[in-house]
Amino acid sequence: MSDQNNINREEEIKKLEKISVEKVKERWRFVIFYRFMFLFVTLGGWEVLGRTGTIDPFFFSMPSSIAYQLYIWIIKGTSQGPLWLQVLVTLEETVLGFLIGAVMGIICGIALGRNKMLADIFSIYIKIANAIPRIVLGSIFIIALGLGMASKVALAVVMVFFVVFGNAFQGVREADTNLIANARVLGASDRQVTFKVVLPSALSWILASLHISFGFALVGAVVGEFLGSKQGIGLLIATAQGAFNAAGVFAAMIVLAVVALLADYLITRLENRLLKWRPTVQ
Amino acid sequence: MNSNFLIELENVDRRFTSPEGKIIQVLDNFSMTVKPGEFCAVVGPTGCGKSTTLSLISGLAKANAGKVLIEGKEFEGIDSRVGYVFQTDAVFPWKNVLDNVAVGPLFRGVDKKEAIEKSLDWIKRVGLQGFEHHYPHQLSGGMRKRVALAQTFINSPDILLMDEPFSSLDVQTKLLMQQELLQLWSKHKAAVVFVTHDIEEATILADKVYVLSKRPTKVKKIYNVDIERPRIVTETRYTKKFIEISKSIWNDLSEEVNI
């Protein structure tokens, strides 16, 4: 008798579960539908406004012209050579600048974070340097390092360094003093404290800064190309601007966005690997 | 020098300097002794510098005046005979249980394989087998405390410093951990300095209870707790002797706490 009851009860719960699973799926379908709706209305509206002449497509372009421009670039290449080469050049500058800036930022951040005296002396200058609109340094780098890759990498480094430095510094300063004391009593040397305790505690801060700073590196590289270069997406934009080709500017923007999204995805993968000890935030 | 004592604090002063340069006198002409294998508890009003005594013994902080001696000698830096269990969670959140417990021997240059073996043994002794590969955030508060105990005991300290280690636990877990601590200690016989604000905890665990005054802190009174061992935490707390001692400690302390 009670067995029968249990079986009935189980079936009942299974039924309830089915309904709740269906509800979750239903909600998800709703979200997806309205996402597409939003995209469709925005792009469609833009296209309609352009075609009816409410906004001037000469200045603001239209989705169809942008798509056509992209198509031409992909199939026939750009005026500076194939599109993939432009992407590769910009990506190379970005990644190099990002890596150099990030490594320098982490090293300096930890050095200053671990040494109160150094921090007290230099913190004021770091603040000042951070307040300067560093993108202007691009002009100096073009003059000093020429039109080649070096000037773009330098600008990307400067863009990345301060962000990563600031976060690494903060992360080190906020490392739990209890953890450090515990490590020291357990027998850790100063070196071990730095690398086995302070660095791992600052890691979530550092990784958070990498997300933002990759975008900054990309901005540095593109603006550097903008200011003067022989290749790259920045030059593509500058050329399009010179030819009053609004569709070209938007198309280049889309290419950059795709690059940035891919990079962000890779950094998130790295972050999840390195921080697998963290509780998952819902 | 009387070398019967493992730990001696002799007329110690400890001051803190605020960022503006103001001085706060915490310990004032403070003396205290602990024999090898003795279980000492320290109780006192909040902010009186109970934890400061532990920092001095561990070498994490230096005395401004007076002497801190271990086996009759002054020492430099952090003494390797010391183990320290902190009030808040001080296990490393990015290491799993196995690596957390093995960290002491590894810092001290023990071979990795040996450290892991020792770690497995201690994990078993504190009853955490099956949780070797869990991260701290996946454990309960009581389990994290067990990790902290294993992490400290694995270094076989002669001196065990404990700073309100169980204050964040719920009452049942706390009693359980007290019993467990007594068992580990009875096998290991380290000298313990156990800081707590909980008078009953002090009485149930210790041979000797130091009652401290409010700041600037001196020793107000020392109680010898001559309740026989082994003690059973859940039973001894109802004996007449236990109640008597905790009552008189409370009387002493309440004079300091009343404002």
- A188 in contact with B, Cβ within 8 Å: yes
Q: How far apart are CA A207 and CA A273, in angstroms?
A: 11
Q: Do B86 and A181 touch (CB under 8 A)?
A: yes
* A85: Cα separation from own chain's centroid: 21
For residue A282, is it within any domain? no
| Residues A205 and A269 occupy one common structural domain | yes
Pairing of strands B39-43, B159-163: unpaired
* B183: Cα separation from own chain's centroid: 15
Give the domain ranges of chain B. 36-63+81-257
Cβ-nearest to A187 among B92, B93, B104: B104
Provide the terminal-to-terminal Cα distance of chain B, rounded to the nearest Å: 40
Alpha helices in A228-245 (DSSP H): 233-242
**Count of Cβ atoms closer than 10 Å to residue B33 Cβ:** 17
CA distance B47 to chain A (A): 18
Q: Taking CA atoms, what residue in A is nearest to B151?
A: A186
| Residues A20 and A134 occupy one common structural domain | no
| Residues A25 and A70 occupy one common structural domain | no
pLDDT digits (tens, 9 = 90+) for B56-112: 999 888 888 888 888 888 888 888 889 999 988 789 999 999 999 999 999 998 899
- Residue B4 exposed, middle or buried by CB count within 10 Å (0-12, 13-18, 19+): exposed
**Is the CB of residue A222 less than 8 Å from the CB of residue A93?**
no
- Calculate the alpha carbon distances from A274 to A166, A193, B94, B95 in Å: 20, 19, 9, 12
Q: Do B58 and A203 touch (CB under 8 A)?
A: no
Q: Taking all residues of chain B, what is their mean pLDDT, rounded to a whole number? A: 88
- Residue A203 sits in a domain whose CATH number is 1.10.3720.10
| Residues A76 and A191 occupy one common structural domain | yes
SS3 label, residue B21 = coil
| Residues A70 and A47 occupy one common structural domain | no
Q: Do A277 and B93 touch (CB under 8 A)?
A: yes
Pairing of strands B39-43, B208-212: parallel
Q: Taking CA atoms, what residue in B is nearest to A182?
A: B90
**Count of Cβ atoms closer than 10 Å to residue A2 Cβ:** 6
Sign of the CA dihedral running B98, B100, B101, B103 = positive
Cα atoms in the Cβ-side hemisphere of radius 13 Å centred on A204 = 12
The CATH homologous superfamily for domain B36-63+81-257 is P-loop containing nucleotide triphosphate hydrolases (3.40.50.300)
> Among the listed ranges A239-253, B15-29, B194-208, which one has the minimum average pLDDT value?
B15-29
Pairing of strands B159-163, B65-70: unpaired
Q: Do A277 and B78 touch (CB under 8 A)?
A: no
Q: Which amino acid is at B142?
A: G
Identify the pLDDT of residue A282. 44
Q: How far apart are CA B193 and CA B204, in angstroms?
A: 14
Contacts of B138 in chain A (CB under 8 A): 279
Domain that holds residue A8: 2-55
pLDDT digits (tens, 9 = 90+) for B140-161: 888 998 999 899 999 888 999 9
**Is the CB of residue A233 less than 8 Å from the CB of residue A252?**
yes
- Residue B235 has φ and ψ, to the nearest 5°, of -110, -45
Question: Has the ipTM of the complex gone over 0.85?
Answer: yes
Which among A172, A227, A177, A234 has a CA at the least distance from the CA of A203? A172
Q: Taking CA atoms, what residue in B is nearest to A180?
A: B90
Q: Which amino acid is at A111?
A: A
pLDDT digits (tens, 9 = 90+) for B213-239: 888 888 888 888 888 888 888 888 888
Provide the terminal-to-terminal Cα distance of chain A, rounded to the nearest Å: 43
CA distance A217 to chain B (A): 29
Flag whether pLDDT at B259 surpasses 60: no
Per-residue pLDDT of chain A (282 residues; tens, 9 = 90+): 567 778 888 888 999 999 999 999 999 999 999 999 999 999 999 999 999 988 898 989 999 999 999 999 999 988 888 999 999 999 999 999 999 999 999 999 999 998 889 888 988 888 888 888 888 888 999 999 988 899 999 999 999 999 999 999 999 988 888 899 999 999 999 899 999 999 999 998 898 899 889 999 999 999 999 898 889 999 999 999 999 999 999 999 999 999 999 988 998 888 888 887 777 654
State both tokens at B115.
């450290």
Identify the pLDDT of residue A280. 65
Query: Rounded mean pLDDT of B156-170?
Result: 89
Chain B residues whose C-beta is within 8 A of a chain A C-beta are: 58, 60, 78, 80, 82-84, 86, 88-96, 103-104, 107-108, 135, 137-138, 151-152, 155
Cα atoms in the Cβ-side hemisphere of radius 13 Å centred on A211 = 11
pLDDT digits (tens, 9 = 90+) for B182-198: 988 888 888 999 999 88
Identify the pLDDT of residue A92. 94
Q: How far apart are CA A158 and CA A163, in angstroms?
A: 9
Q: Do B107 and A277 touch (CB under 8 A)?
A: no
SS3 for A27-64 is HHHHHHHHHHHHHHHHHHHHHHHHHCCCCCHHHHCCHH
Strand segments (E) across A214-257: none
Question: DSSP 3-state helix, strand, coil percentages of chain A (rounded to 5)?
Answer: 85, 0, 15
| Residues A48 and A174 occupy one common structural domain | no
Q: How many domains does chain A have?
A: 2
CA distance B242 to chain A (A): 33
Helix or strand (DSSP H, E) at B250: helix B240-257
Q: Do B84 and A189 touch (CB under 8 A)?
A: no
> Which of residues A19, A36, A55 is at a domain's end?
A55
| Residues A101 and A241 occupy one common structural domain | yes
Q: Residue B17 gets which letter from DSSP?
A: E
Q: Do B94 and A277 touch (CB under 8 A)?
A: yes
SS3 for B152-203 is HHCCCCCEEEEECCCCCCCHHHHHHHHHHHHHHHHHHCCEEEEECCCHHHHH
| Residues A46 and A186 occupy one common structural domain | no
Contacts of B96 in chain A (CB under 8 A): 277
Identify the pLDDT of residue B1. 46
